[in-house]
Amino acid sequence: MATLRDVLLYQAKRENSDCPDDDDYPSWVCSDCARKAGAKWPKDHLATFHNGTCDVCGEKAGVTQPRDWGYPRLKRRKEDG
């Protein structure tokens, strides 16, 4: 069975060939991490955020998909242990 991450990456690849096809690429990113990676919010862009865990920093925050930030160069946070 496909995971939510699999579905999101599949959709992203169909929508934008610039999407990294990498297991280290995050599914969810907070605004702070996106901005630290140099991303800028596209003019007049709307997106849905939810309260979740950022895959980059591991903090609880409002997160959205990296595509909303133009696929900035990000890496998924390594799990402890």
pLDDT, block means (10 residues), the chain with 81 residues: 71 62 85 95 93 97 94 84 51
Return the domain boundaries, the chain: 4-69
> What is the pTM assigned to this prediction?
0.72
Contact 33, 56 (CB under 8 A): yes
d(CA 70, CA 5): 18
